[in-house]
Amino acid sequence: MSDYTEMWSSLGLDLKSHDVLLAALGKGYSDVFLSQKGRPEGMKYFDFVMSEVHGLRIKELMDAKAEGRKVIGSYCVFVPEELILAVDGVSVGLCAGAEFNFEGAETLLPRNTCSLIKSAFGFKLGKVCPYVEACDVVVGENTCDGKKKAYEILGPLLRDLYVMDLPQMKTGKGKELLKEEYRKFIGKLEEATGKKVTPEGLKKAVGIVNAKRKAVKRLAAIRAADPAPISGLDALLVNQVFFYDDPVRFTGAVNQLCDELELRAKKKNGVVPKGTTRVVVSGCPMAVPNWKVPLLIETSGAVIVGEESCVGERGNRWLTEVKGDTVEEMLDAITDRYFNIDCAVFTPNPSRVGYVKEMAKKLHAQGVVHYSLQFCQPYIMESGPVEKELEQSGIPTLRLETDYGQEDAGQLRTRIEAFIERLKKR
């Protein structure tokens, strides 16, 4: 690995804490991922990306900035990457998945805040995230109340925070609101980059993002095979890297992985034996390096075959329709696409549970693990009705509520093992 110390210093990182973080991340990665057996060759690319996640990729961002391009960070799948690419921006996801500097975060936030929000603050205040430091603009969005209010506190800590409003109901008015917000966002992007969104630029951007989503959708579909050709952990990792990597290169790597996996599926070559208990995980997003629950599931005798999550199918199952020759028409298509996302901040939100059922069926899963982050009100509130409906449809469901800490791993393992034992009995 090259020496990136100078680059990190120039970004204002706290080198000492950053070293601690990188060492923990490296060890965690090796324990969780590299120890798996029979991994596809195509995962090597993602291993490399992860080994350079704070190195080479950041250097690429810095090079892009030197060329006059802008880095736009965001925390939510409602922020359209197409619009960022249309002004030649670089889009990066900023969600954090580690319990790092929570004491620092708690100087600004209530203790009873979800880990996802706390982690973002912990990283920012601890000066250990080169992504957020490299951002010219950070985009917040009004999803849950926690994030909405957190942006008020985060704003003064950032160079330029732009907050986007989001609808809460899937009505005509809701869609209009979303379109208007996207239009305003175009204005913000044009102002920040000094570039105009043109029909040609936007069409190209839609093409790039559609290709990227098609690739991860292809990966999702291959996982219906039994024996599972790829572990849930590896597939989750691909979906996590989705948010950081160069979109075109990422698309190529995922398609290459899929070529290999399709061959594996054909030859009935799996990472686990045929007949291994299969589950779908549904719920809150899992940002790098939040691999806790998937690791517990996959070391308890089951394999994860799909994620109904922002980092997974909720973020990727729709493509943007390629239509129209004007920015306005394309903006309609983009709005239509994003308005489908069935995040639990919407009320009511019936399509989400409907899709979980569909996933369980098409991926041949025996059960669903519903994962909520503690204090994530939308998903925790929705988990009760989701569990009820799934159980009534004959899909056993285990509801888990946890955070980024490790102290409940033993209790979680007991529940997960018992749930898998329940599924095996069927």
As measured in angstroms, the least distance from the Cβ of 408 to another protein is 4
User: Contact between 340 and another protein (CB under 8 A)?
Assistant: no
Paired tokens of 415: 């529940």
Q: What SS3 string covers the chain?
A: CCCCHHHHHHCCCCHHHHHHHHHHHHHHHHHHHHCCCCCCCCHHHHHHHHHCCCCHHHHHHHHHHHCCCCEEEECCCCCCHHHHHHCCCEEEECCCCCCCCHHHHCCCCCCCCCHHHHHHHHHHHHCCCHHHHHCCEEEEECCCHHHHHHHHHHHHHCCCEEEECCCCCCCHHHHHHHHHHHHHHHHHHHHHHCCCCCHHHHHHHHHHHHHHHHHHHHHHHHCCCCCCCCCHHHHHHHHHHCCCCCHHHHHHHHHHHHHHHHHHHHCCCCCCCCCCEEEEEEECCCCCCCCHHHHHHHCCCEEEEEEECCCCHHHHCCCCCCCCCCHHHHHHHHHHHHHCCCCCCCCCCHHHHHHHHHHHHHCCCCEEEEEEECCCHHHHHHHHHHHHHHHHCCCCEEEEEECCCCCCHHHHHHHHHHHHHHHHHC
User: Contact between 417 and another protein (CB under 8 A)?
Assistant: yes
Q: Interface residues for another protein in 357-416 (CB under 8 A)?
A: 391, 401, 407-408, 410-411, 414-415
As measured in angstroms, the least distance from the Cβ of 35 to another protein is 16
As measured in angstroms, the least distance from the Cβ of 100 to another protein is 20
User: Contact between 99 and another protein (CB under 8 A)?
Assistant: no
Q: Which CB atom, from 170 or from 370, has the smaller least distance to another protein?
A: 370
Q: Which CB atom, from 172 or from 410, has the smaller least distance to another protein?
A: 410
Angle between the 247-266 and 232-241 helix axes, to the nearest 10 degrees?
160
* Number of residues near another protein (by CB under 8 A): 13
As measured in angstroms, the least distance from the Cβ of 158 to another protein is 34
Q: Which CB atom, from 340 or from 414, has the smaller least distance to another protein?
A: 414
Q: Which CB atom, from 77 or from 356, has the smaller least distance to another protein?
A: 356
As measured in angstroms, the least distance from the Cβ of 348 to another protein is 23
As measured in angstroms, the least distance from the Cβ of 418 to another protein is 3
Write out the residues near another protein by the rule CB under 8 A: 391, 401, 407-408, 410-411, 414-415, 417-418, 421-422, 425
